Amino acid sequence: MLVLPNLRSCGWFKGLLSSRHITFSSLLLAASLPFVPADLSAQVDGEVVYNQWCAGCHGEDGAGAGPAANTMLPRPRDFTLALYQVRTTSSGELPTDADMLKVINEGMPGTAMPGWEEVLTEAERLALVDYLKTFSRFFQGDPPTPLDFGRATSGGEDAIARGEEVYQSVECWRCHGQQGRGDGESAPTLNDDAGFPISAADLTENWRFNGGGEVEEIYRVLRTGLDGTPMATFSDIVDAGVITNEDLWSLAHYVRSLSPEEEPSVEEVVTAKLLTDTPLPQTVEDAVWEETERFYVPLSGQIIVEPRWFNPRVDAVWVQAVHDGRELALLVSWGDPSESPDTLWTDFGGQVVTTMGSEDEGAATGSGTADQLVVQFPQQLSEGQERPYFLQGDARRPAYTWTWQSDITGAFESIARGMGTAARQPDSEQHVRATAQHADGQWKVLFVRPLDTGGAEDLALAAGQAVPMAFQAWDGDNGESGSQGAVSTWYFLVLGQPTPVAVYVAPPVALALTLLFGLLVVRQAQVGSGMWREPDAAARAKRTARRKQLAGMGVGVIWLGMAFGSYQNSRAGWEAGYADLGFWWAIIGGLLAIAGLGALIGTWVHTRTLK
Amino acid sequence: MGALKSVFRLLGAPFRPIGSLMGRFLNTPFRQATAVFSLAYVLIEHGIPRIPPLFGLPSAPVPNTVVLEYLVIALVGILLWVSDNEERWSEFKQPIHDVLVRPDRRIWRGALFVIVPALVATQTYLSARPDVSAPPSFRAIHPAPPSAITFQGEQMVLDGLENPLRSTGLLEEHYEEGKRVYYQNCLACHGDGLQGRGHYAQIFNPEPINFQDGGTIAMLTESFVFWRIAKGGPGLPNEGNPWNSAMPVWENFLTADEIWSVIIFLYEQTGRDPRTWELEEEEH
């Protein structure tokens, strides 16, 4: 392997500790060293580690302006300012070494900063802490002392109710909004200390909280603030006796309660429940939605075709679906603080566009367009696994889309052959209806369409089928339009169907057959050991012959069954475009069919005389 | 060992841990066969996935079909052994026969009559119930590369193609250039750790490639990597599922030198070596 000069300086020991040898090095260390050195960091050059792994975003000079800085908001930390968000110390103080190590280890959720535990050794991470401190002379003084947080209160309904009162009284809603979705009246005016636009956290997504999403971490942020951002410390009003420390813990419990118990998992299949006795919901507020499972679909910036977008507002949509055998109702909900275009947000969006300034051709230069949501399907379902390209299809396989916009009523259907090529279908071919509602920083859009529109060009939905489905979302007030928005890859929509009769019939039949077989086996064994009436020689011979006949037929049937399975595998292989798989399964199936037929015919020929 | 032996002797028990186990519990071919079969299951299901990590390689649970296949092989081996001589075979059958026949094994017999049909019925129910899982998806991870591509309008032969920047003598500069290109373009998905865990990574299915994994770039020639970067997801053959890959077509954004530089960066940053054409030819 070629070793570059700037990577060579650290010698063999560094090589031993480098990431790709984690397992080996720990084994070797354990085997070869009688003790673990007390100060691991002394053996690693923090500058080398920093330049190799951190400088790409934070810059070699630590000023937070590395090559990647323009592709992320919030920006990478500027270490020369010694302003750190995650601290156990008072606002305005330096972080402790443990605070800095925590961020290096765990990363900053909701930002581009990952955790480094699996890439860097502990020695390398400790060396980084030391090296980061050399970027600012503030660290030359005495080490800071962490605050005493007291003990976490137990939470529960009372604490959450008290927390909600505190949320109102200390006016968290001014930025975070009444429902916590970051849609407060001050939200459009927020800038960080470096002058970049910053969003008030959406408190319903605790897995994206900058300082961590658990109660203790929320409390820490409330106590210490997030220095460098508009998130203030609440230590002073506790010290002044306006609220108690326990109130602050209650507030942390309340904020935690706004998010789900656990970070939602991503399911590949969205199921549309079949409604049998309830009518299909026609509004976003219908009670049916409260009982319908929600599916979490995370979105990323569209960074695949020009012009790209690295700062999507919509990080996920929630999808719910039901059908009544005639129509499908699809409810999509997502957090968006404004009903774009909203003049209160024009300035914010303009700043975002300036900050995220893209060199891509055709990049947006301003904000203030409408919010938009596109639900995407293939125009035609293919027999195999082929689908249109997930960014609104391609020339060979077009996508069929439903587009909803905040500045029009309803939604419309289009056929697209690539991002931005959607062509609206003629009015006679429009079948999708949509109603939308924006409340407390959340859009809810309900799409309703007949399962089968009758049109030959339209995608027909049928129960039991897995229909590919993808989502794209734009926040106009965040400077998003055209190809600059948020996208997902393909998911599947499956329409629930009435339970097939086989589900009720097959298990009892299987049970009865197994029981019968068991009884036969036991009887045979007991007859064999003379526990039943001893049959005469002729009868025994006849029974043996019959048993052989049954065995022969059984083998034949089993082989034929396997042949049928092979045939199905073969067909699936051909359909998926795997000619070799299809071919070999066909050969296997053929051989099995011959063997099975042979067994049946052979048994029949040999036992004809029985009758 | 000696100390343990004397402890046993003090307690007045013979020191035959394995012998006594065999003598007391595994004393019939049926029990031995059952024990071997159970051990085989535990080893296959829980043992095999622990082997790759010993060598620093990533691991995954053994697929059920593979477990089944291995268990069938184990079962055939066990049956061969028990039926190898007549005496052992009849000894092996004895407990089975006893359960079927002996009056004092009535309770066992009854229990089997309840448990086995119930299991079969449950299994039938599980497989008959409507399936709402995604249709199976076959995807070739390393599809066969074309021998030549058209790169930004010009013919480029991939067979035998080496990274031209490796012979310029300016490797460090190319590394730095590759680093810039990587951080400005690739980071969001493939991540600063090059493990395919950028902040957008989890949103995509399939997930971005993990360059630190020994099964990715270390198995590929640099020209293969060039092809994958230049043509991206849409340039995959059908078996690579081009419709779902979020990998952009980088020839629309980057020059050839930028792509070759980022390739140098990938190998240097992960400490991996590209596959060479000599090796490629030896194996074909």
Closest Cα in chain B, distance from residue A415 (Å): 16
The verdict on A321 touching B (C-beta cutoff 8 Å) is: no
Q: Are A99 and A180 found together in one domain? A: no
Evaluate the omega torsion of the peptide bond into residue A74 and state whether it is cis, within 30 degrees of 0. Answer: yes
- What chain B holds in terms of domains, given with CATH numbers, is 2-126 (no CATH), 148-282 (1.10.760.10)
Same domain? For A117 and A18 the reply is yes
Number of domains comprising chain A: 5
Residue corresponding to tokens 């927020």: A190
* Residue matched to tokens 């697209």: A416
Is residue A109 situated within a structural domain? yes
- pLDDT digit string, tens, across residues A424-437: 999 888 999 999 99
* Res A429: pLDDT: 87
pLDDT of residue A3: 38
Q: What is the mean pLDDT of residues A397-404?
A: 94
Q: What is the pLDDT of residue A368?
A: 81
Q: pLDDT at residue A14 above 50?
A: no
Q: What is the pLDDT of residue A42?
A: 57
Is B238 in CB contact (< 8 Å) with chain A? yes
pLDDT tens-digit profile of B120-148?
Answer: 999 988 888 777 777 777 777 778 889 99
Same domain, A548 and A577: yes
Contact between A113 and A103 (Cβ < 8 Å): yes
Is the pLDDT higher at A384 or at A69? A69
What is d(CA A94, CA A86) in angstroms, rounded to the nearest whole number? 10
Query: A335 or A551: whose pLDDT is higher?
Result: A335
The answer to whether residue A512 sits within a structural domain is: yes
pLDDT tens readout for residues A456-496: 778 889 887 889 999 999 999 999 999 999 999 999 999 98
| Chain B residues with CB-CB distance to A386 below 8 A | 238, 243
Question: What is the band of A313 on the pLDDT scale with cuts at 50, 70, 90?
Answer: very high
Q: Confidence class of residue A27 from pLDDT cuts 50, 70 and 90? A: very low
Residue A1 has pLDDT above 70, yes or no: no
Q: What's the CA angle centered on A359, arms A75 and A60, to 5 degrees? A: 40
| Residue A519: pLDDT over 80 | yes
Assess contact for A205 and A259: CB atoms under 8 A: yes
Asked if B49 reaches chain A (Cβ–Cβ under 8 Å), the answer is: no
Asked which of A529, A545, A578 is the last residue of a domain, the reply is A529
Please give the DSSP secondary-structure letter assigned to residue A345.
G
Q: How confident is the model at residue B19 (pLDDT cuts 50, 70, 90)?
A: low
B122 contact residues in A (CB cutoff 8 A):
507
Query: What is the predicted pLDDT for the residue at A191?
Result: 93
End-to-end Cα, chain A, rounded Å: 80
Query: Cα A118 to chain center, whole Å?
Result: 21
A553 and B121 in contact (C-beta within 8 Å)? no
Q: What is the pLDDT of residue A4?
A: 39
> In Å, how far is B129's CA from the nearest CA of chain A?
5
Rg of chain B in Å (alpha carbons)? 29
Does the interface ipTM go beyond 0.90? no
Of A382, A352, A324, A297, whose CA–CA distance to A484 is shortest? A352
Question: Does residue A82 belong to any structural domain of this protein?
Answer: yes
The domain boundary residue, chosen from A257, A282, A311 = A257
Q: What is the CATH number of the domain that holds A373?
A: 2.60.40.1190
Distances (CA, A) of A239 to A152, A229, A233, A244, A339: 18, 22, 11, 8, 39
Structural domain of residue A571, as residue ranges? 535-610
What number is the average pLDDT over the span A152-174? 93
**Among residues 507-526 of chain A, which lie with CB inside 8 Å of chain B?**
507-512, 514-515, 518, 521-522, 525-526
Hey, is A580 helix, strand or coil?
Answer: helix
**Do A243 and A282 belong to one domain?**
no
* A494 interaction partners in chain B (CB closer than 8 Å): 132
Same domain for A471 and A330?
A: yes
Tell me what the pLDDT averaged over chain A comes to.
Answer: 87
> Residue A333: helix, strand or coil by DSSP?
strand
In a domain, A464, yes or no: yes
| A115 lies in the same domain as A48 | yes
Q: In this predicted model, what pLDDT tens digit does every residue of A132-149 receive, in sequence order?
A: 999 999 999 888 999 988
Instruction: Locate the chain A residue with the closest alpha carbon to B264.
Output: A2
Counted across chains A and B, CB pairs separated by less than 8 A come out at 198
Residues A277 and A399 in one domain: yes
Q: Are residues A381 and A451 in the same domain?
A: yes
Question: Mean pLDDT for chain B?
Answer: 86
A145 lies in a domain?
no
- Of A257, A284, A317, the position where a domain reaches its end is A257
Q: DSSP assignment of A158-223, as one string? A: HHHHHHHHHHHHTTTHHHH-TTSSS--TTGGG-B-TTS-B-PPP-TT-GGG-TT-SSHHHHHHHHH
Residue A354 in any domain: the answer is yes
pLDDT tens, B197-207? Answer: 999 998 998 88
* Tokens read off for A378: 């293939």
Predicted pLDDT at A609 = 67
Does A111 share its domain with A160? no
* Cβ contacts of A472 within 8 Å, gap of 6 or more: A299, A302, A372, A373, A374, A376, A392, A485, A486, A487, A488
Residues A446 and A330 occupy one common structural domain: yes
Assign 3-class secondary structure to A211-250.
CCCCHHHHHHHHHHCCCCCCCCCCHHHHHCCCCCHHHHHH
Q: Are residues A285 and A345 in the same domain?
A: yes
Rounded CA separation A318/A334 (Å) = 6
Q: Which CATH number is A68's domain given?
A: 1.10.760.10
Asked if pLDDT for residue A36 goes beyond 80, the answer is: no
Helix (H) or strand (E) holding A585: helix A579-607
Q: How many CB atoms lie within 10 A of CB B4?
A: 10
Is the predicted pLDDT of residue A352 greater than 80, yes or no? yes
Same domain? A356 vs A480: yes
